[in-house]
């Protein structure tokens, strides 16, 4: 790919001429690892020293905010962007497309799988050895189903879906277009539903299903339970990190980002554009509004209004939580003063 083609597609502004725009570029790397035919990016001043030693031919940055930290002698071309991290993400997509045009590296591996007689797959879909696909399934075009994945009966999978090795998609699940399910994840397993009887627990048979809308990405070893009688749904564009548990009947909105080891208990509803840090716990049967941010290790036990930023366990306003942490650190000192005061005779 030519540098000028990348510049055009990303709508970047070129500053400097250390590297000719009609030269070939081979990829993208960090400031430390990029070679002389690769581009890189910088998002903050704390990486300024790496600009002095990088071998990258061009660097994506917000020139206006980082101009003061630039080396006196520029050895790279500046690609000016108001959102360098977004431009970096878009660049990775472009390089992936360019690589796929040469060879996807997969088509030679097709064969050695089992697919039910009533199941169908679309054009240019590759199914690897060891895959099991049940009856009544519909798999769209341009999909990649990696080795040892298991797809149950009556599963609907859209176009351009990637399912990595050893992932399991249970019966009746629905996977939208452009979804990615990483290795070891389970979609549509039974929820944790039991009724207490006189002699023990009675299992609730889960007859619902799990659904991923378009462009959802599921990290490795994630578990998403099916609905008890209805459905569990992950909204379009949502990204879920590794080791997340989503219980039965949960509804997660669009374009959410949920970090690793988070657990969401049954029948809770999460709005659109919600961000959760790692190890967040969401109690069951509560509602979290739109545009909410939840700090790592927070325990959410009640409803959260639109736009709130919360932290702590139990979670509350992050501003109040920070003030509380300051006071908490001062408790030993305050306790000591109270003891001294109590000893003083009035």
pTM of the entire predicted model: 0.89
Residue of 182, 206, 248, 285 marked active site: 248
Q: Provide the pLDDT confidence category of residue 96 given band limits of 50, 70 and 90.
A: confident
Cβ 273 vs Cβ 254: under 8 Å: yes
> Is pLDDT of 344 > 80?
no
User: Running DSSP on this structure, what letter comes out for residue 24?
Assistant: B
> Is pLDDT of 14 > 60?
yes
Cα(80)–Cα(197) distance, rounded to whole angstroms? Answer: 66
Q: Provide the pLDDT confidence category of residue 24 given band limits of 50, 70 and 90.
A: very high
Helix, strand, or coil here: 3? Answer: helix
Percent of the chain surpassing pLDDT 90:
84
Cβ 206 vs Cβ 225: under 8 Å: yes
Q: Provide the pLDDT confidence category of residue 107 given band limits of 50, 70 and 90.
A: low
In tens, the pLDDT along 135-149 reads: 999 999 999 999 999
Ordered by where they begin, the domains of the chain are 3-102 (3.40.1390.10), 109-319 (2.160.10.10)
Cα(135)–Cα(151) distance, rounded to whole angstroms? Answer: 9
Average pLDDT for the chain: 94
Taking Cα atoms as reference points, which of 218, 194, 209, 196 lies closest to residue 250?
209
Cα(267)–Cα(206) distance, rounded to whole angstroms? Answer: 14
In tens, the pLDDT along 270-281 reads: 999 999 999 999
Radius of gyration of the CA atoms of the chain, in A: 26
Is residue 285 part of the annotated active site? The answer reads: no
CA dihedral 139, 141, 144, 148 (to 10 degrees): 20
As a whole number, mean pLDDT of residues 41-68 equals: 95
Cβ 81 vs Cβ 12: under 8 Å: yes
């Amino acid at each position: 790919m030519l540098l000028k083609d990348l510049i055009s597609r990303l709508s970047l502004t070129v500053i400097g001429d250390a590297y000719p725009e009609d030269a070939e570029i081979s990829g993208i790397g960090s400031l430390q690892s990029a070679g002389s035919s690769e581009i890189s990016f910088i998002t903050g001043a704390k990486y300024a020293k790496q600009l002095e030693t990088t071998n990258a031919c061009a660097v994506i940055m917000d020139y206006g905010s980082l101009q003061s930290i630039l080396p006196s002698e520029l050895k790279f071309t500046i690609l000016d962007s108001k959102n360098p991290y977004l431009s970096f993400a878009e660049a990775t997509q472009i390089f992936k497309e360019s690589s796929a045009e040469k060879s996807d590296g997969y088509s030679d591996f097709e064969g050695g799988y089992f697919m039910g007689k009533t199941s169908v797959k679309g054009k240019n879909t590759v199914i690897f050895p060891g895959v099991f696909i049940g009856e009544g399934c519909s798999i769209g075009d341009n999909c990649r189903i990696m080795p040892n994945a298991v797809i149950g009966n009556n599963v609907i999978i859209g176009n351009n879906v990637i399912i990595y090795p050893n992932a399991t998609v249970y019966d009746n699940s629905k996977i939208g277009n452009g979804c990615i399910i990483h290795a070891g994840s389970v979609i549509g397993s039974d929820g944790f539903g039991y009724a207490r009887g006189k002699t023990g627990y009675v299992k609730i048979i889960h007859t619902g299903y799990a659904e991923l809308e378009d462009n959802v990405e599921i990290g490795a070893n994630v578990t998403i339970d099916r609905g008890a009688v209805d459905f569990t749904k992950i909204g379009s564009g949502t990204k879920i990190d590794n080791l997340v548990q989503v219980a039965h009947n949960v509804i997660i909105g669009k374009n959410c980002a949920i970090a690793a080891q988070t657990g969401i208990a049954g029948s809770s509803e999460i709005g659109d554009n919600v961000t959760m840090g790692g190890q967040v716990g969401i109690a069951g049967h509560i509602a979290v509004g739109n545009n909410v941010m939840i700090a790592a290790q927070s325990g959410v036990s009640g409803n959260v209004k639109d736009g709130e930023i919360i932290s702590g366990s139990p979670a509350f306003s992050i501003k109040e939580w920070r003030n509380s942490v300051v006071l908490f650190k001062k408790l030993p000192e305050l306790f000591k003063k109270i003891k001294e005061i109590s000893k003083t005779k009035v």
